[in-house]
């Protein structure tokens, strides 16, 4: 796929997220996808495979929020197989706290499927509002 096609795919994923709808993300991730959460805090690590991402990382996040996660992107830059996105969350936790993190994410698309996501965000906000990531949660498929 071209850089422009990759950009359109990621834009659609964020359009779904902004509307709290759609399956574009799940429908377009590779089986061996990795989500790299950068930093040195409890959520940091490499989540490998659809299961670890959808039910591990995102599954745990879903248990903490009142509604489906909403992240609104405001800048997309694409070159080759990479799409860089700046975005801001718009979420409320079940305890009533705002969770509006700011993100820079680097998405890598290979043969029309998302192969890797690298997430950079305010790690102190994650720990303060969402708490530590459970050690029992899987980071890898299988």
H/E stretch holding 42 reads none
Instruction: Please identify, in words, the CATH class of the domain defined by 3-131.
Output: alpha beta
Tokens of 105: 């994410």
Please report which confidence band the pLDDT of residue 142 belongs to, taking 50, 70 and 90 as the band edges: very low
Residue 53 to residue 1: CA distance in whole angstroms: 24
The reported pLDDT for the residue numbered 70 is 95
What does the pLDDT look like over 71-127, one tens digit per residue? 999 999 999 999 999 999 999 999 999 999 999 999 999 999 999 999 999 999 999
Contacts of 26 (CB under 8 A, 6+ apart): 50, 54
Strand spans (E) along the chain: 29-37, 45-48, 71-79, 82-89, 91-92, 98-99, 102-110, 113-121
Q: Which of 3-12, 14-23, 60-69 has the lowest mean pLDDT?
A: 14-23
The reported pLDDT for the residue numbered 139 is 73
Tell me how far the alpha carbon of residue 67 is from its chain's centroid: 16
Is residue 135 within 8 Å of 41, Cβ to Cβ? no
Residue 127 to residue 30: CA distance in whole angstroms: 29
The reported pLDDT for the residue numbered 1 is 83
* Model confidence at 141: pLDDT above 60: no
Domain boundaries, given as residue ranges, for the chain: 3-131
What does the pLDDT look like over 24-56, one tens digit per residue? 999 999 999 999 999 999 999 999 999 999 999
Contacts of 96 (CB under 8 A, 6+ apart): none
Residue 68 to residue 20: CA distance in whole angstroms: 6
């Amino acid at each position: 796929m071209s850089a422009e096609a990759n950009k359109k795919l990621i834009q659609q994923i964020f359009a779904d997220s902004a509307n709290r709808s759609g399956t574009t993300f799940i429908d377009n991730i590779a089986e061996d996808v990795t989500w790299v959460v950068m930093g040195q805090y409890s959520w940091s690590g490499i989540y490998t495979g659809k299961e670890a991402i959808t039910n591990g990382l995102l599954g745990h996040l879903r248990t903490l929020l009142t509604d489906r996660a909403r992240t609104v992107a405001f800048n997309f830059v694409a070159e080759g197989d990479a799409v860089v996105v700046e975005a801001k969350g718009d979420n409320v936790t079940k305890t009533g706290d705002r969770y509006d993190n700011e993100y820079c994410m680097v998405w890598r698309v290979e043969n029309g499927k998302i192969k890797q996501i690298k997430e950079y965000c305010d790690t102190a906000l994650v720990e303060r509002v969402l708490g530590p990531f459970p050690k029992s949660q899987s980071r890898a498929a299988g």
